Structures are given as structure tokens and as C-alpha cells.
Amino acid sequence: MTSTAERDDGVDGRLRELMARGYRFVHPRDDQGELLAVVGVRSHHRVIDIVQLRDEDDAAAMRIPGDEPNIMAPATLLWQTSGPACRVLDDVLALEDTEPAVRGGEPGAAAKGCWVPGPPGRSRWLAATA
């Protein structure tokens, strides 16, 4: 793991580190095409980690069970944080990468699903049911 001293300063270096760990990013936009946020998602160990950056002082992250039907408004949170982007990204980078206790309690395959494209600039996470 890269220490804070070795990491590029700022949001960009932290985002590169998340991409190296397998995060995929989408950029939801409003009806006029304006960027609303940068959203990163990584599915692993039967959980989904989500990062939302609205600006440098407004970010949030959460870990949810992999079987949540709506990852942007989950019914169950396993972990969450919010605040300035650099701190939130540091919190995410510090998360354990091992399988946490999740619903069902059994170790298993990674959470499955995919991003489905919608209208220009919009996507939706579709959880796999099989």
C-alpha cells in the first residue's frame, strides 16, 4: 500500500490509486449536460464500494452488500464516510480489502453487476441476479 507521503498530493493521485485497485468511474450529468459528480464503483468480496465526488469539499463513500438492488440509495450500509474529497479518498484507500461479514455470512464470489448506459451522460448500476 502506498503511504500518504508517497502518494501524489491532491485528488488526482488518489483517484489514480483507486483506478489501480479496480474502481470504474462514471460521470453523471444533468439534463443540460453539466457534470453532477464523479462516481467510482468497485465490486469485490460480495460487497460494493462506492465513492461520490461532487467537489473538493463535498465527497462521500460507502461499502454496501453486493446484493443491494439500488447502489445509489442502498437499504444497508456496511461502512460510510463523508467530508472533503482528499480525506474521504484516504479513508477509502485505508479500508481493509478482505471479505467483511455481509448478509448470508458465507464467503463467496464477488458481487456481480454492470453499468447500463442510459441517456447521454447517464448510467445505471444493474445488479446481477444469477
Where are the chain's structural domains? 1-97
Q: What mean pLDDT comes out for the span 24-49?
A: 92
Does the pLDDT value for residue 3 go beyond 70?
no
> Taking the C-alpha atoms of 30, 60, 40 and 23 in order, what is their torsion angle to the nearest 10 degrees?
180
- Chain-centroid distance, C-alpha 5: 24
pLDDT band at 119 (very low <50, low <70, confident <90, very high): low
Q: What is d(CA 54, CA 110) in angstroms, rounded to the nearest whole number?
A: 28
pTM (2 d.p.): 0.71
What pLDDT does 82 receive? 97
Interval 58-70 mean pLDDT: 93
pLDDT in tens, 109-118: 455 566 555 6
pLDDT at 128 over 90: no
Residue 70 in contact with residue 48, Cβ under 8 Å?
Answer: no
